[in-house]
Amino acid sequence: MSREEILEGIKEILKTVNSIDKDKIDGITESTDFITDLSAPSTELINIIAKAENKFDVEFDDDDIDDMGSTVGETIDLVVKALAAQ
């Protein structure tokens, strides 16, 4: 699965998150920050991560989640790593 495909999947996930402005979703890139650019509460990141696990049929390592930042690219990195470990 390519990074672009994962990015599109994350956009689909974000469309289901009530706290994120739907008008901002189409312009998301890997450098987009969930908290500063999309105004998502930091607590919402856990929900986004859980939805990503379901969407991409992966399970993230707790340590990797703890070390993750708040950008879309870091989330893509997490998905890529989990897919590679399967």
Q: Report the Cα–Cα distance between both ends of the chain, in Å, rounded.
A: 13
SS (H, E, C) 20-67: CCHHHHHHCCCCCECCCCCCCCCCHHHHHHHHHHHHHCCCCCHHHHHH
Tell me the residue length of the chain: 86
The predicted-structure confidence for 19-33, as pLDDT tens digits, reads as follows 998 999 999 999 999
Query: 33: alpha, beta or left, given left = phi > 0 and alpha = psi -120 to 50?
Result: beta
Query: What pLDDT is recorded for position 33?
Result: 97
Query: What pLDDT is recorded for position 27?
Result: 95
Q: Residues in the chain with pLDDT < 50?
A: none
Domains (range + CATH), the chain:
3-84 (1.10.1200.10)
